[in-house]
Amino acid sequence: MPLLVCSFVIMTHLMFILILTLLCLQVQRCAAANTSKLLELTQENLAQKMLSGKMFFVYFGNQVNPTLELFLEQLELSAEALEDYGISVAKINCTKEDIAKYCGAEKLIKKAYLFRGSEVLRNFDTDTVFDVNAIVSHVLFTVLFNEVRYVHTPAELLNIERTAKGKMDVVFSHIQVLGLPEHRALMETAFVYGAKFQFVLTTGGPVLKHMGVDDPASLQAGLWFLHCKDVRRVAEPCPHTAMRRPLTTLNIYAFLQLMEAPLLTEASVDPAEVEVVYSHLHVPLLFLFTQAQTRALDRVTAEMLAWRLRGEVGVVLIHRDSPDVKTPLKYNAAFKLTEEAAMRYVTFNSIEEVVTVFKEEVTPMGEEEEEEEEEDDDEDQWTTLDVLDDEVAESVYRDRDLILDLEPLLELTADIFTSTLAQHDHLVVLFYIKCFSDVAMASVDCGEWTDICGSQEITSFPTVMAYHHGGEAQLYRGMLGSESLHRFILLSRLGSPLCLSSSEEVQSFMGGGLEQSHTALAPLRAVGLFGSSQDPGVALFEEAARGLRGEILLGMLVDTPAQNWGRELSLDLPALLVSRGPEVQREVHSIQASSLEEVIGLIRNAALDPFPELTVENLPQYLELEKPLLLLFVAEDGPESSAALLEIRGLLHAGHLERYLPCWINLRRTPAGSAVLESYLGGSPQLPALVLSQLQHSAGEVFNFPPRRPLQSRKILQWLQSVESQEEEPAGVVPDEMWGPSVSFYDFLSVMDQELPGYAVQRSTKTKMDAATSEGRQEGKANRKEQKREKREKDRGERQGSGTPANPPSPHTHSEL
């Protein structure tokens, strides 16, 4: 009986413990379920979030399908990860909350938004942010837009290196596919270390060849540490160390810690008793022994080895003459592969033998497992994940989902086009390009309204035209950048030419007084002086001014006031007076032209700076002069650069450079100039550097002013004479090649003919003889096209048979900027 009672008591206690355990487990599960970091917001909560000014990532959902269910699961996982970076993650049920701007009418919403306060930093397609790694990496990439620099060419990377020299080290990385774990690891590291290092990212291109990668297509991800902080000389390159482990957050952290550790550590105890600063990183250690007699030489050898093994192995130099060192003299080295491994004492006979041991015996952590996983999962990964493969440029990736806001535009149709032109004094019509809100704007879809675009002679897209009430339509010929287009629109609103009536008005106009608000947009101003309003040149000048509207501010003075100006300045009228600013001497050009084209050409040439600073925007108009370029490259506006500019300007004013186009490039303001200089000379010389190119007899040869000579006018003139007499050796050659299109021409007409047979066929009336001649030419063309097609097919087959991509990227060629 007592035994039975005892058993019952024990059983009761066991049941109690079991029930208590089950309750605890249930509570833990409930707690776990209730600690989700994913917020579910209402319209009121969203408004509060926007007022907070904080960063948050939101998905607005309606109905869901299996793909969106998977996305929501990954969104919940990303909430906890992004919380560490101060970014909250939320979802909003559009069936309950009607938020018109984000909850669209479609049933399946596939957009997520990153907010900073009320500002939308970026919107993402759910196919782009397909899992937790993609969400975290893309969100952090957007947040770090200004901190993580993107490069595609070696010149862009070298420009960043120059800026970093003497200031900070550079972490350069390559990610072939954005949104994968390697991209996330890099972004998380950049978020933490962005203030300490300059992070740079590329997704491929020639920059990998520059870093020594023989086969860029085979490298999925890589990272290099550029040691720029200790580099003081501009011409000295930044040495770099490659990270040879997989790109994970822990591996990158350990690698950066190793880069900050001393290159070489010295100790006076046995290897087993050495404590190094990076022992917690669990990297292999190499111990080299030295004696007092050979210590200097041994230290040089150890540093050389440390550089070759940097990032993989820690190197320690042991002072053997210390009484605490008991290692036998027959060994000159020791190494330890892992923290748990035994110390191995060896005798090495060469540096290469040491490097070989570590290259063969030390397998990068995780490499074997990664290779096995790739064999099993690679095919599934690429067929099931809709990832973004950004091989072109950062801008294409970042703007791929950008939807232009066309609501402020007046949509023109064939019915209202003509009447709309009559209703506005100033109307700018944009053919599907984003424009500005401070002027009347409109757009024409040329695919829909072909009759309008045909009548306006629109032949390329996008095209911008400005229409002025009572005047002719004006084609915008500048760069399609917001700054250039904005300047054109504002200047085109001014009447041209501005009719001046007195000397005071001319002085005010030339000095920037009249139309003062536009001085910053167009510092150059020109006035046409005509002795009589009956002069035929007056009408030509007025028509030319209307054609140059938006490009140059032009004024006109006629009759007696113009005659008085001519007598005061000893001018022969008609003449063009050009002002480049209040403190710059004015120039006078004679107007001797008999046609509109001649007058426009004269004004445009007079507006060109005789010693211009070349930029990407103004380069084409100076190349049209077809003069040899005497080009000065400067790094910044320092005393040395200013002195060189003054010397060349002195030669120009003295009339010694009439057959050349003297010009200069500031590499800080125009980084593309660095690529030009490297293409010219095959490297980066000391700045300022003076280069002469495009000589007619030189066949593309480039000449470099000797860097050891002072940049003085007398020396420069002697050097130019030596070049002309072919006594100077060229420093490089610019290939005489044309840049072709990056992709094959897309034949829109053939596509139109497929839709409506015969619609786009080009027809023209011919005589019988013309038809016969044309038929012969067409037959010859057809034969040549067939031969080229067969050759392309043959080349494509050879490339595909050898494993080379069918469309390999064309090598980088140079043609000025």
- Using the 3D structure, point to which of 607, 627, 647 is the last residue of a domain: 607
pLDDT confidence of residue 30: 42
Q: What percent of the chain has pLDDT over 70?
A: 75
E-only strand ranges, 309-395: 314-319, 333-336, 344-346
> Quick one: 585 and 515 in the same domain?
yes
* 407, pLDDT greater than 60: no
Work out the pLDDT band at 434, boundaries 50, 70, 90. Answer: very low
Give the pairing type, strands 441-443 and 426-430. Answer: parallel
| Peptide linkage before 671 cis (omega within 30 of 0) | no
pLDDT at 521: 64
Cα–chain center distance at 78: 29
Q: Quick check: 409 pLDDT over 80?
A: no
Q: Is residue 778 part of a domain?
A: no
Type of residue found at 258? L
Residue among 761, 652, 645, 655 nearest 711 (CA): 645
Same domain, 412 and 352: no
Residue 772 has pLDDT above 60, yes or no: no
Are 629 and 596 found together in one domain? no
Q: Parallel, antiparallel, or unpaired: how do β-strands 587-590 and 575-579 relate? A: antiparallel
Q: Between 510 and 324, where is the model more confident?
A: 324
Residue 405 has pLDDT above 60, yes or no: no
Q: Which of 20-29, 131-140, 491-500, 614-623 has the lowest mean pLDDT?
A: 20-29
185 and 253 within one domain: yes
Q: What is each CA distance from 601 to 474, 543, 595, 606, 624, in whole angstroms?
A: 17, 13, 10, 8, 12
Residue 367 maps to a domain = no
> Could you give the CA distance from residue 660 to residue 662 in angstroms, rounded to a whole number?
6
Q: Are 131 and 74 in contact (CB under 8 A)?
A: yes
In angstroms, the CA 591 to CA 597 distance is 13
| Distance, CA of 801 to CA of 446 (rounded, Å) | 43
- The answer to whether residue 707 sits within a structural domain is yes
State residue 515's pLDDT score. 57
Tens digits of per-residue pLDDT, 452-479?
Answer: 888 888 888 888 888 887 777 888 887 7
pLDDT in tens, 225-266: 999 988 888 778 888 888 888 889 888 988 888 888 888 888
Residue 518 included in any domain: yes
Q: How many domains does the chain have?
A: 6
d(CA 321, CA 326) in angstroms, rounded, equals 10
For residue 790, the tally of other CB atoms under 10 A from its CB is: 10
What tokens appear for 129 in the block? 């942010």
Q: Based on the domain organization, do 103 and 188 belong to the same domain?
A: no
Residue 754's CB is within 10 A of a number of other CB atoms, namely 10
DSSP 336: E
Beta strands in 421-460 (DSSP E): 426-430, 441-443
Q: What is the pLDDT of residue 384?
A: 33
Task: Let me know if residue 203 belongs to a domain.
Answer: yes
Q: Cβ distance 527 to 509 under 8 Å?
A: yes
List, for residues 274-326, the tens digit of each pLDDT value: 887 766 777 888 889 988 888 888 888 888 888 888 878 888 898 988 888 88
- The 3 state secondary structure assigned to 753-806 is HHHCCCCCCCCCCCCHHHHHHHHHHHHHHHHHHHHHHHHHHHHHHHHHHCCCCC
Q: Which of 558, 587, 607 is the last residue of a domain?
A: 607
What CA–CA distance (Å, rounded) separates 688 from 666?
10
Q: Are residues 653 and 599 in the same domain?
A: no
Sheet holding 39-40, edge to edge: 39-40, 88-93, 55-61, 111-116, 119-125
Give the other-Cβ count within 10 Å of 741's Cβ.
Answer: 7
> In the predicted model, is pLDDT for residue 435 greater than 50?
no
Q: Strand pairing of 629-634 and 661-666?
A: parallel
Tell me which amino acid residue 786 is: E
Q: Are 44 and 121 in the same domain?
A: yes
Tell me what the mean pLDDT of segment 54-75 comes to. 86
Residue 390 has pLDDT above 60, yes or no: no
The CATH code of the domain that includes 105 is 3.40.30.10
Taking the C-alpha atoms of residue 739 and residue 814, their distance in angstroms, rounded to an integer, is: 8
Q: What single DSSP character describes residue 648?
A: H
Residue 57's alpha-carbon distances to 63, 142, 405, in angstroms, are: 19, 11, 22
The whole-model pTM stands at 0.44
> Is there a single domain that holds both residue 120 and residue 154?
no
The residue segments making up the domain with residue 465 are 407-476
Q: Are 232 and 158 contained in the same domain?
A: yes
**543 shares its domain with 629:** no
Residue 575 maps to a domain: yes
Range of weakest confidence among 171-185, 511-525, 560-574, 786-800:
786-800
Is 335 a member of any domain?
A: yes
Give CA–CA dist 111/59, Å, rounded.
Answer: 7
Average pLDDT over residues 790-799: 45
- The verdict on 98 and 163 lying in the same domain is no
Write down the mean pLDDT value for the chain.
Answer: 76
Strands 344-346 and 333-336: antiparallel
CB-neighbour burial class of residue 2 (10 A; exposed 0-12, middle 13-18, buried 19+):
exposed
Among 211, 240, 258, residue at a domain's last position: 258
Mapped onto helix, strand or coil, the DSSP state of residue 467 is strand
**Hey, how many other C-beta atoms are within 10 angstroms of the C-beta on 196?**
12
Asked if 644 and 591 sit in the same domain, the reply is no
In whole angstroms, what is the distance from residue 551 CA to residue 604 CA? Answer: 9
Rounded distance, CA 336 to CA 286, Å? Answer: 7
Model pLDDT for residues 120-158, shown as the tens digit of each residue = 888 888 888 888 999 999 999 988 888 898 888 888 888
Is residue 139 a part of any domain in this protein?
A: no
**Confidence bin at 391 (pLDDT 50/70/90):** very low
| H/E segment holding residue 297 | helix 295-308
